[in-house]
Amino acid sequence: MIAEPRHIVPPGMLDANLRVRGRVPYAIDVVLPGMLHAKLLRSPYAHARIVSVDATRARALPGVHAVLTGPDLAARDDIFPYFGPIFRDQAVLAIDKVRFVGDPVAAVAAIDIDVAQAALDLINVEYDELPAVFNVDEALEPGAPIVHDEPRRLGQTFADIIVRAEADTNVCNHFKLRKGDVERGFAEADHVFEDVFTSPPVQHVPMETHNCVATIEAGIIRVTTATQMPFAVRASLAEIFKVSQAKVRVTTPTLGGGYGAKTYTKVEPVAALLAQATGRPVKIHLTREEEFVTITKHGVKIQMKTGVTKDGRIVARKSTCLFNTGAYADIGPRLIKNGGYATGGPHYIPNVWVDSYAVYTNLPPAGAFRGYGVSQAAWAYETQMDMIAAKLGWDALEFRMKNLLEDGQSVMTGEDMFDAHFKELLTTATARIGWDPAEEPRRNGSKVRAKGFACIIKGTVTPSTSTAAAKLNEDGSLQILSSAVEMGQGAETALSVLAAEGLDLELGQVSISRPDTDVTPYDQGTSSSRNTHSMGTAVGMAVADIRRQLLALAAEQLEVDPADLELVAGRVQARGAPSTSIAYGDLVRASRSGNLLANSVYASKGGLDPETGQGIGSVHWHQAAAAVEVEVDLATGKIDLLRYHAGVYAGRIVNPVQAELQTEGNIAFGLGQALFEEMVFDGGQLQNGNLGDYMIASIEDMPQEISLGILEHLESNDIHGIGETSLPPAMPAIGNAVFRATGVRITDLPITPEKVLRGLRARAVEESAE
């Protein structure tokens, strides 16, 4: 019997001190001899045919080393100038057409940014403007301008996605879910509700914008880039340059935030093509304005129809989700699956029907964003849950409690729920803010206070693969080779803890590598709140292998049966006889293998049936609840957050400090999106693409009182992702509280003071008419 491993509780992020002192290098800090700087010329039109691009004058400007244009790239047959994780629909530089304001059409590499910028002004592009579409309804109308009229270039697709693109339409992909018999469900229902909910596009606003440095040396394409997915970038560069993946090397230092923006290929291809053209290292570093049009969160319109019985059970739900995926698909075709099935919510509903669409428009591309489609879905179902309770005069909490999933009930994708903690999370959350269904909103002058809550379910990417390697050195220290990306979330600390525990080492005796595709083994990517679970499991497996090797070696050296040995503080010792022991380092030396090596593969299983969306949606289900007390100024519509409780299920909490920080980060993201975040477009032109005009939450916007409930159940022996989980309930919880305070129901995010005031005025008119 192996004793329960001791749990290490780290003091927070291991390199926090270095980070706050600016001693941690980021990709933007890379400076190479002879390095050039790249700038992109971007389209001023939302949709236009490129008639001609003339870069003659730019090329002649002193200090300019290369200018690339779309037509240049299209004319070459040594490259394949397209990328995109599912469809290869995005040209490195626009070929034939531009599809959004900001679409790159030409690239310059010059001795400095100013020269590169000046060269852009010397490039003449002649456009022939085309009619454009910006919202999903327009885009789906018959006769609408078609954003991608070329045949779909499908790449090697993901195991978990089914592509159902409709040619000659703007439908980029369609996900279907059919559980039970939805029409029979509605027939059984005593009440049926149908509502529309919308969420606007928003920006991730990572502090570090997209950037990379590319070189081509001795036939090896080398890129140091701020990406959450080094292996996806490698695959994409190999495809573009038509070389084997072994000829591409991607390294990734720590990121200055990702939030999904840095998944898949972004600026790497253009930098590598410029490096190839110039024979020099080329750096590209997007401005904040460029970041705003590089990738966004999907704006979504969800039509949701829900049937309930008079005793409060949900019997059927049908939703149509229109995700505005912008001009290029990015990961939209897969995100609509997660966002689509998520509309089933954390409730047991026997009959569910979902049609979820990714729709092309002439807006900047939308892709992964912390919450991955689930925020938009949760905004719809948790708002509607409250609307139903209000209309039928039910206690909103009791209505939830009747329907929240329990172990053994089938989730929307058909598999049985296990390790369910929704009820516990919501009970705690509502108790912490003193929820009482009988409590009336409290009025003080023009201000009124009330409470609201929400509870959500989120899947994590399934199936998915993480691999790791472990090396135990001759001094007994442990190195983990992993491609987990550190982006401030504490990946390195969490993996250090898990590795150290496996061999009973101190944290200081363990190192975790940074991703380097030449050296570190494959990982699918640091996204989807999966790293601590997925890479953590892989690391645990590799370390367990080292442990077996140590036990076998020690059994030989100490002449003790392996079953009677234990690992204690860097030594293998006979159980109950600490004097019979040997240090790991001595075992490594005795083995004469230089180091002990182990490799591991963790591949989760699952996937959904293409026709029914039934199968294994997620390897386990992430769960969260939020409860909030707001104060609304009835004279202005302005909302203040007084108290906020965030509850999330963690399975095991590996790093308490960072689990709390991730959860607080989700509150900040959530309240910003609830109250004011929104990318505003006019004719496809972004109106607030900088941080003076686009607002994110500041520390002063945080709720006056925050409580966190990070739920641990060690007996489940599982680690649940918490990086995104507590974000989606924020918006509906706040909206529900605002409704209770004011009687104004907002169904289109954000809940601005102006919308609330208009709602209050409309109510006043209605009341006086009565």
Give the footprint of another protein on this chain (CB under 8 A): 114-115, 117-118, 287, 289, 635-636, 638, 672, 675-676, 680, 687-688, 690, 692-693, 695-698, 700-701, 752-754, 757
Q: Coil, helix or strand for 569?
A: coil
Give Cβ neighbours of residue 218 (< 8 Å, ≥ 6 apart). none
- Write down the least CB distance from residue 618 to another protein, Å: 34
3-state helix, strand, coil in the chain (%, to 5): 30, 30, 40
Toward another protein, which CB reaches closer, 519 or 635?
Answer: 635
- Write down the least CB distance from residue 343 to another protein, Å: 29
Burial tier of 563 (Cβ tally within 10 Å: 0-12, 13-18, 19+): exposed
Q: How far is residue 90's CA from residue 85's CA, in Å, rounded to a whole number?
A: 10
Toward another protein, which CB reaches closer, 115 or 554?
Answer: 115
Toward another protein, which CB reaches closer, 56 or 690?
Answer: 690
**For 403-425, b where at least 16 C-beta lie within 10 A, e where not — what string?**
bbbeeeebbbbbbebebbbbbbb
Taking Cα atoms as reference points, which of 144, 148, 143, 61 lies closest to residue 103? 148
- Write down the least CB distance from residue 175 to another protein, Å: 34
Q: How far is residue 602's CA from residue 605's CA, in Å, rounded to a whole number?
A: 10
Q: Which two tokens stand for residue 336?
A: 């609509």
Toward another protein, which CB reaches closer, 237 or 284?
Answer: 284
- Write down the least CB distance from residue 452 to another protein, Å: 21
The dihedrals phi and psi of 768, each to the nearest 5 degrees, come to -75, -25
Q: Which residue has the tokens 């525990």?
A: 501
> Across-strand partners of 178?
353
- Write down the least CB distance from residue 61 to another protein, Å: 9
In 74-183 the beta strands, taken as DSSP E runs, fall at: 82-83, 90-91, 97-98, 104-110, 124-129, 171-179
- Per DSSP, the residues of 333-376 read HHHHHHHHHHTTTTB--SEEEEEEEEEE-SS--EE--TTTTHHH
The dihedrals phi and psi of 221, each to the nearest 5 degrees, come to -85, 120
Which DSSP state fits 442? E
Toward another protein, which CB reaches closer, 258 or 672?
Answer: 672
Helix (H) or strand (E) run with residue 470 in it: strand 465-472
- Write down the least CB distance from residue 137 to another protein, Å: 23
**The one-letter amino acid at 11:** P
Strand 211-217 relative to strand 220-225: parallel, antiparallel, unpaired? Answer: antiparallel
∠ Cα 343 344 349 (to 5°): 155
Toward another protein, which CB reaches closer, 156 or 698?
Answer: 698
- Write down the least CB distance from residue 742 to another protein, Å: 15
Q: How far is residue 709's CA from residue 430's CA, in Å, rounded to a whole number?
A: 11
Give Cβ neighbours of residue 763 (< 8 Å, ≥ 6 apart). 742, 743, 744
Which DSSP state fits 402? H
Peptide bond into 142 cis (omega under 30): no
Q: Which two tokens stand for residue 317?
A: 């739900």
The conformational region for residue 615 under phi > 0 = left, psi -120 to 50 = alpha, else beta, is: left
Toward another protein, which CB reaches closer, 444 or 579?
Answer: 444
The conformational region for residue 168 under phi > 0 = left, psi -120 to 50 = alpha, else beta, is: left
- Write down the least CB distance from residue 442 to another protein, Å: 21
- Write down the least CB distance from residue 635 to another protein, Å: 5
- Write down the least CB distance from residue 446 to another protein, Å: 8
Toward another protein, which CB reaches closer, 33 or 445?
Answer: 445
Toward another protein, which CB reaches closer, 657 or 706?
Answer: 706
Which DSSP state fits 563? G
- Write down the least CB distance from residue 760 to another protein, Å: 10
Query: How many Cα atoms within 13 Å fall on the side-chain side of residue 467?
Result: 10
Q: How far is residue 278's CA from residue 66's CA, in Å, rounded to a whole number?
A: 6
**The one-letter amino acid at 518:** D
Toward another protein, which CB reaches closer, 200 or 536?
Answer: 200
- Write down the least CB distance from residue 703 to another protein, Å: 12
- Write down the least CB distance from residue 351 to another protein, Å: 41
Burial tier of 522 (Cβ tally within 10 Å: 0-12, 13-18, 19+): middle
- Write down the least CB distance from residue 759 to another protein, Å: 12
- Write down the least CB distance from residue 752 to another protein, Å: 7
Toward another protein, which CB reaches closer, 124 or 287?
Answer: 287
Q: How far is CA 270 from the centre of its chain?
A: 24
Toward another protein, which CB reaches closer, 146 or 706?
Answer: 706
Toward another protein, which CB reaches closer, 56 or 287?
Answer: 287
Toward another protein, which CB reaches closer, 309 or 687?
Answer: 687
Contact 358, 172 (CB under 8 A): yes
Toward another protein, which CB reaches closer, 579 or 768?
Answer: 768
- Write down the least CB distance from residue 678 to another protein, Å: 9
Q: How far is CA 23 from the centre of its chain?
A: 27
Cβ atoms within 10 Å of 181's Cβ, excluding its own: 14
Toward another protein, which CB reaches closer, 700 or 770?
Answer: 700
Q: Coil, helix or strand for 177?
A: strand
Toward another protein, which CB reaches closer, 121 or 506?
Answer: 121
Contact 429, 626 (CB under 8 A): yes
The dihedrals phi and psi of 166, each to the nearest 5 degrees, come to -110, 115
- Write down the least CB distance from residue 701 to another protein, Å: 5
Contact 91, 73 (CB under 8 A): yes
